[in-house]
């Protein structure tokens, strides 16, 4: 057997595999001999069927099978030995006049080669790393909501200040028909608030969506519409009131503190505010980290330039599914997946350059931490190590779970690396401005 490679260019190559009769003859003969031993053909005793008859009946099929096995093994070994970094899988070149009746065969395979490139994590970027703080406005609002949540609900005859109003928002032309409960303090349009004040159950109020809230994204929940539809939405909607809800706010006393945070964990309003701030900013930090990771990823995909063997990959896409697809469909799928492929290559390069690896102990410790968090949520604050490790063993016996957890661990390693090496501007914002930044509406 002889294997040679012709590099068409930096991203494409053709591998030629020449298979001689001596490479497969013994194996084919062995298989046919076994067939002869077990063959049951009328007119012949078992094991006494002439080899010529076995050859005639099974020879071609066995030849094809054994040559294909030999091809796969030899090609895979060649790729490993040559340390070729390929994209997709080798694609056999179709030969219209291929002849299986000869003794020696020649097969050609197209390869798509991974590009060579470098990743500069220290390059100048426009990425912003947000430090999200819970300001007094947010904290006071959260305390007011807690007082309302744990207060006494009182049905009201008409809308008064501090009430919530439940009803149906509707606009027939836009297909809007959604029941929601509205906190009047969330409304930015004072005219809208005034038009609702004093109304009773069954009354219908016409409102304008433009400027109804300080943040247009609130319309997504209130009207049950998508993100792309809320920007600049300027229509009239009817609001049919079906319930007016009043509250007697809960007293900020030790009974409420214990109910919220556990016995004596908080003993004053100031401590309550500090606890809410701590918990909120911990959640904000997780969201800010995710945005930072996403933004750096986007920057690296845009700024790291390299070519891909596009035509090869489109051909490969045509062959990967259960059913064949057209060239046009393959081109569309390639366009859709190109950015993801680019980041996979960039991520692999970063991992190799910075020796980012996941050890079994790291994965085990991470899984253990997640399980303890979940158990704490169900009141098991101090589980035994034996119980935790038993669950860890069951989780890690599931390959899909191991893959998912490994991705989470590697994401954290990438995040830590980006925080250390990527030149990003740090900006402190409140949560409202962070949400705007998430949707690209906050200027840096």
* Bridge partners (DSSP) listed for residue 306: none
What pLDDT shows up at residue 316? Answer: 92
Give me the architecture of the 152-248 domain, per CATH: Roll (3.10)
Instruction: Return d(Cα 15, Cα 1) in angstroms, integer.
Output: 13
CATH superfamily of 2-113: Trigger factor ribosome-binding domain (3.30.70.1050)
Domain ranges in the chain are 2-113, 152-248, 267-438
Neighbours of 122 (CB within 10 A): 9
Nearest CA to 422 out of 177, 61, 125 is that of 125
Domains 2-113 and 152-248 share a fold: no
What is the pLDDT tens value at each position of the chain, 444 positions in all? Answer: 899 999 999 999 999 999 999 999 999 999 888 888 877 777 777 777 788 888 888 888 999 999 999 999 999 999 999 999 999 999 998 877 788 888 899 999 999 999 999 999 999 999 999 999 999 999 999 999 899 889 999 999 999 988 899 999 999 998 999 999 998 888 988 899 999 999 999 999 999 999 898 888 889 989 999 888 888 889 999 999 999 999 899 999 999 999 999 899 999 999 999 999 999 999 999 999 999 999 999 999 999 999 999 999 999 999 887 888 899 999 999 999 999 999 999 999 999 999 999 999 999 999 999 999 888 888 777 888 888 899 999 999 999 999 999 999 999 999 999 999 999 999 999 998 998 898 776 555
3-state secondary structure of 97: coil
**H or E element in which residue 167 lies:** strand 164-171
Instruction: Return d(Cα 312, Cα 238) in angstroms, integer.
Output: 56
What pLDDT shows up at residue 431? Answer: 92
Sign, Cα dihedral of 140, 144, 149, 150: positive
- The topology under which CATH files domain 267-438 is Trigger factor, domain 2 (1.10.3120)
Per-position b or e across 57-92, b if 16+ CB within 10 A of its CB? ebbeebbeebbeebbeebbeebbeeeeeeebbebbe
Instruction: Confirm if 215 and 437 have CB atoms less than 8 A apart.
Output: no
């Amino acid at each position: 057997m002889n294997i040679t490679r012709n590099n068409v260019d930096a991203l494409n190559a053709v591998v030629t595999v020449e298979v001689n009769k001596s490479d497969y003859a013994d194996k084919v003969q062995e298989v046919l001999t076994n067939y002869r031993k077990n063959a049951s053909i009328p007119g012949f005793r078992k094991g006494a069927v002439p080899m010529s008859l076995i050859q005639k009946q099974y020879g071609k099929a066995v030849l094809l099978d054994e040559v294909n096995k030999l091809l796969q093994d030899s090609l895979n070994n060649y790729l490993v030995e040559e340390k070729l970094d390929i994209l997709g899988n080798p694609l056999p070149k179709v030969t219209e006049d291929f002849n299986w009746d000869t003794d020696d065969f020649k097969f050609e395979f197209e390869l798509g080669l991974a590009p060579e490139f470098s990743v500069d994590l220290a390059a100048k970027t426009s990425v912003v790393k947000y430090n999200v703080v819970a300001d007094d406005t947010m904290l006071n609002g959260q305390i007011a909501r807690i007082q309302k949540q744990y207060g006494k609900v009182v049905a009201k005859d008409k809308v008064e200040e501090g009430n919530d109003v439940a009803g149906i928002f509707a606009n027939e032309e836009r297909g809007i028909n959604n029941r929601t409960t509205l906190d009047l303090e969330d409304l930015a349009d004072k005219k809208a608030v005034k038009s609702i004040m004093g109304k009773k159950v069954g009354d219908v109020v016409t409102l304008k969506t433009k400027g109804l809230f300080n943040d247009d994204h609130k319309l997504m929940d209130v009207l049950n519409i998508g993100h792309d539809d809320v920007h600049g939405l300027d229509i009239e909607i009817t609001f049919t009131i079906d319930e007016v809800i009043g509250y007697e706010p809960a007293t900020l006393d030790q009974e409420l503190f214990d109910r919220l945070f556990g016995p004596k964990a908080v003993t004053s309003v100031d401590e309550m505010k500090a606890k809410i701030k701590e918990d909120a900013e911990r959640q904000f930090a997780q969201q800010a980290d995710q945005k930072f990771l996403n933004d750096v990823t986007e920057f690296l995909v845009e700024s790291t330039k390299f070519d891909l063997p596009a035509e090869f990959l489109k051909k490969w896409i045509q062959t990967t599914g259960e059913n064949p697809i057209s060239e046009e469909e393959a081109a569309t799928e390639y366009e859709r997946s190109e950015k993801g492929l680019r980041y996979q290559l960039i991520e692999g390069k970063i991992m190799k350059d910075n020796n980012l690896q996941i050890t079994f102990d790291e994965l085990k410790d991470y899984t253990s931490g997640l399980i303890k968090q979940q158990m704490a949520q169900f009141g098991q604050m101090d589980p035994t190590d034996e119980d935790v490790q038993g669950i860890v063993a069951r989780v890690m016996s599931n390959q899909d779970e191991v893959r998912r957890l490994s991705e989470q661990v590697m994401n954290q390693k990438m995040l830590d690396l980006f925080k250390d090496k990527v030149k990003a501007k740090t900006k402190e914002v409140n949560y409202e401005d962070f949400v705007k930044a998430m949707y690209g509406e906050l200027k840096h």
